Chain A
């Protein structure tokens, strides 16, 4: 039992705790989780906090993207646990039948997602456990099998006549989509270098899918990504890791392709929604080729690295500079597409979305050119 004297002491301890920045961040994260998702949000936030503090999957300071603090790579694991608990519970206690039980296409898709998650998990738990070539080969094998078994995922028209012609050729269409799919997952993994960047893109995308289809799976993914986004942006203690970026990449890829194949979304809409990771990947590969380096070697020449350099000079907190970078990019690309979709300015199946994609690409290239011109050349980030 607590004595009467211990109460003022406890209050003083709480007051002292409130002055600790980590405690302030935790309080803010839990408050936002409670307001947005109630008791469930608090539970998800507690789970993420616990996983972030385990020794498993720890990244040393400066090892991940532009982060300079020690952090955990188990963000994808946390998202996975939350989604599994939610969907399993809903399947058991309500008339909801999950996609893999309903439709064989979803069964194959989720099997591929699971495989991609396991591939990433091996890397998160034990870095360099698998060689890059083996990982790339495994992704080609799994995604190739997915599109071979589920040709319904291959869109037959994307609004570009030459591409449409190639996609309609049986084997070539399959090869093209498999190469694109592996590139997309790698692009999302490569872009996961700033707080809130990939989680923000994933959150906006799942919000679009949820509003369009209303599937509980999309709702659960949106919920888990929202909590992760809050945690990632405020604290910077967490990253998606390879589990998260491979897993979310595979889900977004599958849902995106299915949406285009079914005619609910235009290819231009998906290109605009996922503009940043795709364009950044292409530009990075070209940049490295021109510099005579391996196209897959990590460097600091991404737009988010350049933007971070600029923001870091103006913001004192390193975590906030990192988070501002990620949030600015995700909000101005996928967030803008979400806003246009919600407002109803353009229908999602309109081919005018190609114009939005071209505008995004132009802004990307102009920003990269400007930031490169005002910043000194680094060891890696040299644009030819």
Chain B
């Protein structure tokens, strides 16, 4: 029984990295489409704690390359800014 709990804890900890990568990616797209500002969030303490020193570089590369991919493939659906979210996130246009 205890082993199952440990497994859940392990998956939960891995999920922290998933959340950090995903949220960084989504945030990056919002910022990019709203203001065309390139902000990697590179080296922030929160991200380094979540994904470590090497993981931080990996996430930054995934975000920058993912941004290029979406823009190259013309994924307007995601690139369109959402005004309510942009205002609440304090992002100026």
Is B a genuine binding partner of A? yes
Chain A residues packing against B (C-beta within 8 Å): 33-44, 46-47, 50, 54, 82, 85-86, 89-90, 92-96, 210-211, 213-216, 219, 222-223, 226
Chain A residues near B61 (CB, 8 Å)? 210-211, 214, 219
Contact of B50 among A40, A210, A213 (CB under 8 A): A40
Find out whether the CB atom of A89 lies under 8 angstroms from the CB atom of B62.
no
Find out whether the CB atom of A38 lies under 8 angstroms from the CB atom of B17.
yes
Query: Given known contacts A47-B11, A222-B58, what 19 new A-B pairs fall within 8 Å (CB)?
Result: A36-B52, A37-B17, A38-B51, A38-B53, A39-B13, A40-B50, A41-B51, A43-B10, A43-B15, A43-B17, A44-B13, A47-B7, A50-B10, A86-B14, A94-B26, A211-B61, A216-B66, A219-B58, A223-B55
CB of A275 to closest CB in B, whole Å: 25
- Those of B13-27 within 8 Å (CB) of chain A: 13-23, 25-26
Contact of A43 among B12, B48, B66 (CB under 8 A): B12
Q: What are 14 A-B contacts with C-beta separation under 8 Å? A: A36-B53, A40-B13, A40-B17, A43-B11, A43-B13, A50-B3, A82-B14, A86-B18, A90-B22, A95-B26, A214-B61, A214-B62, A223-B58, A226-B54
Chain A residues near B26 (CB, 8 Å)? 93-95
CB of A136 to closest CB in B, whole Å: 35
CB of B6 to closest CB in A, whole Å: 5
Chain A residues near B14 (CB, 8 Å)? 40, 43-44, 47, 82, 85-86
Q: Chain B contact residues: over half helix, strand or loop, or mixed? A: helix
Contact of A93 among B18, B65, B75 (CB under 8 A): B18
CB of B31 to closest CB in A, whole Å: 14
Find out whether the CB atom of A34 lies under 8 angstroms from the CB atom of B52.
yes
- Those of B24-75 within 8 Å (CB) of chain A: 25-26, 29, 48-55, 58-59, 61-62, 64-66, 70, 75
CB of B80 to closest CB in A, whole Å: 12
Find out whether the CB atom of B29 lies under 8 angstroms from the CB atom of A95.
yes
CB of B62 to closest CB in A, whole Å: 5
Q: Name the residue in A37, A42, A54 with the highest tally of chain B Cβ atoms < 10 Å from its Cβ.
A: A37
Find out whether the CB atom of A214 lies under 8 angstroms from the CB atom of B52.
no
Chain A residues near B89 (CB, 8 Å)? none
